[in-house]
Amino acid sequence: MAPPKRSNRTVRQSTLSFKTKVTKSAPNNSAFKKGSSSSGGATTPSSSQVVCTIDDSSQERAISRKPVKIPKSTTSSSVSSKEEQAAREVSSARLKKFYAAILESRLTAPVHQNSLTLEEKILRHFDLSSQYGPCIGITRAGRWKRAHRLGLRPPIEVLAVALQMEDEMAADHPAEKRDTRRAYIDDFLSTRNAGE
């Protein structure tokens, strides 16, 4: 089948103009019509109103806005400190039991993790669990707290290990040791020299 023939008409493409202030059309409400106030004349905006211009009529119209109240967050330091306190009370036996449950849920044993500590194995498992959100550009404890705030119910054992690793990094910070606060994959993807 032959392709359809094109007509000889030339079609001119319309140009965009950025000289106007408002690019979206405003809804036609009777409350916004000129002279709808009780004074009968032009309206003057009060302190809780915003003045904007509209292209189609080029008239100023007042739009009332309610003040926005920002609620005080209940997930601030009080909840974090409760969770951190509970995480600091997690025993090493509970960590071993937690990792044993992870191994039981897998089909095969992990490969190439013989040289890692139990804590690093738990943290790497958490790093690769996408159900708690992305792990790039955030510390492990920060990721755990974000997942907790969002109601994703991350394991408290992960926070316990992350806090333990942060405490160890604060106590002794050797230059040759890797920063364990960030995910291993985050370090891997953010290397500066790819050739090294």
Is residue 165 domain-resident? yes
Q: Which of 21-25, 42-46, 144-148 has the highest mean pLDDT?
A: 144-148
Q: Which of 22-31, 131-140, 167-176 has the highest mean pLDDT?
A: 131-140
| 3-state DSSP assignment of residue 6 | coil
Contacts of residue 30, Cβ cutoff 8 Å, sequence gap at least 6: 36
Give the per-residue pLDDT at 122: 95
Is residue 66 domain-resident? no
Measured distance CA(124)–CA(131) in Å, rounded: 14
Is residue 50 domain-resident? no
Is residue 182 domain-resident? yes
Number of domains in the chain: 1
- Residue tagged 């550009």 (tokens): 137
Q: How many CA atoms lie within 13 A of 131 on its CB side?
A: 9
Is residue 59 domain-resident? no
β-pairing verdict for 49-53 and 60-64: antiparallel
Give the per-residue pLDDT at 7: 65
Hey, how many other C-beta atoms are within 10 angstroms of the C-beta on 182? 19
Q: Give the domain range for residue 111.
A: 77-189
Is residue 2 domain-resident? no
Is residue 162 domain-resident? yes
Lowest average pLDDT, out of 41-45, 143-147, 162-166, goes to 41-45
